[in-house]
Amino acid sequence: MLDEWLASSLDADSVEPREGREGPEGKVPGGRYRLHAPGVLELLPDELAPEAQACVVSAGIHGNETAPIELVGAWLARLEAGQLRLGAPVLVILGNLEAIRQGVRFCTTNLNRLFQRDLDLEGDEPDRARELMAVVDAFFARHALPHVHYDMHTAIRDSRYPRFAVEPFADAKTDPAQWHGLAAAGMQAALHQHRHSWTFSHYSKHYHAAQAFTLELGKVRPFGENDLDALSGMRTLLEALLEGRQTPSGNLEEVRFFRVVTELMRQSQDFALCFSEETPNFTEFAVGTRLAHDGQAGDTVVEEAPVAVVFPNAQVELGARAALLVRACPPPK
């Protein structure tokens, strides 16, 4: 049954439950599963393992980011085949189902900017954001355990560090063990956000004090063209979470840390980045370099010290982030 869940979630004609109308349940080794909403599956252990945490694992918040969806498929297949035994509650989420079907980042608006409790926008993506916020609220309320959320993505550009974590800005502090766990999972860099960003991982950290991250796991590719071997560390981390085992611990010297200094916002139609579309994430620009032109905001020029550019995208909606400007910083203590 679980092996069909991914496929049936992506079948536009399949009738799946909505929150409030609970869906089918079934057994998995060590526990059971329940479908709460389209693309939302909860795994419930019969018994909690000693290191169990309540863990949200999401993929496909952007529909063309397929590697994390394939990783989730392989992870659930190992559970169903009896190679893993459930020891912790896990909420598995496929985010933007229609965008996944169409193979696009989003259909109308970027779902990963909508995770805000007072959201008053209308449309399919705002409705999905409200649905996902409700299932996450209910999941964390059901399980009085440490809260964790890994929201898995892939990046549009190449990257000097193909696998990296984005730490959302929020009052809750990141447990140092998380950095060691992410190092063991193969993250090559980590980026501290400098302000609220209303992403899905930010939602769990800000409203639920979860240990939450956006994880960039390579580059956007179509289904079937992903290198899952490069994600073996991430697979090991997910397996430990599912079994309620202690997560592996890696060496922080293998991770480069950065902090965001500025978000470059697109403020007008007349907006352009002044460097090639192909520029990889974390490419550094010297003081005095003109990075962007905006008809309203004017030019953005590097000041004081070099900056590196992450997530450059001139095609974003008006008022949205067109790039993060970041600088290296020491590893967290």
Binding residues for Zn(2+): 62, 65, 153
Does residue 308 touch ligand LFNQLBSZ according to CB under 6 A? no
Does residue 199 touch ligand LFNQLBSZ according to CB under 6 A? yes
Does residue 128 touch Zn ion according to CB under 5 A? no
Query: In the complex with Zn ion, which residue's Cβ is closer, 42 or 65?
Result: 65
Q: What angle is formed at CA 11 by the lines to CA 239 and CA 222, rounded to 5 degrees?
A: 65
Question: Contacts with Zn ion: how many residues (CB under 5 A)?
Answer: 3
Does residue 174 touch ligand LFNQLBSZ according to CB under 6 A? no
Does residue 112 touch ligand LFNQLBSZ according to CB under 6 A? yes
- Token pair for 333: 């203590």
Helices (H), the chain: 2-9, 67-80, 97-102, 124-142, 176-184, 200-208, 232-243
Query: In the complex with ligand LFNQLBSZ, which residue's Cβ is closer, 166 or 183?
Result: 166
Q: Residue 308: how many CB atoms within 10 A of its CB? A: 21
Looking at 42, 80, 216, 243, which residue is catalytic? 216
Strand partners, 147: 54
Interface with ligand LFNQLBSZ (CB under 6 A), residue from 128, 147, 153, 206:
153
- Asked if 42 is an active-site residue, the reply is no
Query: In the complex with ligand LFNQLBSZ, which residue's Cβ is closer, 31 or 110?
Result: 110
Closest CA to 200 of 152, 141, 272, 267: 152
Residue with tokens 């403020």: 267
Q: Residue 180: how many CB atoms within 10 A of its CB? A: 17
- Token pair for 15: 């009738």
State CA 66 to chain mean position distance: 12
Binding mask 53-82 for Zn ion (x = CB under 5 A): ---------x--x-----------------
321-328 and 307-310 as β-strands: parallel, antiparallel, unpaired?
antiparallel
CA dihedral 107, 113, 115, 117 (to 10 degrees): -110
Q: Which amino acid is at 191?
A: L
The stretch near ligand LFNQLBSZ (CB under 6 A) out of 178-186, 195-203, 264-272, 291-299 is 195-203
Does residue 153 touch Zn ion according to CB under 5 A? yes
Report how far apart the first and last C-alpha atoms of the chain are (Å, whole number): 44
Q: What angle is formed at CA 72 by the lines to CA 71 and CA 77, rounded to 5 degrees?
A: 100
Closest CA to 168 of 125, 209, 117: 209
155 contact, one of Zn ion, ligand LFNQLBSZ, none, CB 5-8 Å limit per kind: ligand LFNQLBSZ
Which amino acids are annotated as binding site, given as ranges?
Answer: 62, 65, 153
Does residue 241 touch ligand LFNQLBSZ according to CB under 6 A? no
Query: In the complex with ligand LFNQLBSZ, which residue's Cβ is closer, 178 or 201?
Result: 201
Query: In the complex with ligand LFNQLBSZ, which residue's Cβ is closer, 5 or 161?
Result: 161
Does residue 156 touch ligand LFNQLBSZ according to CB under 6 A? yes
- Sign, CA dihedral 273-316-152-326, equals positive
Interface with ligand LFNQLBSZ by CB under 6 A: which residues?
62, 112, 153, 155-157, 166, 168, 197, 199, 201, 214, 311, 313
Q: Which residues are catalytic?
A: 216
Interface with Zn ion by CB under 5 A: which residues?
62, 65, 153
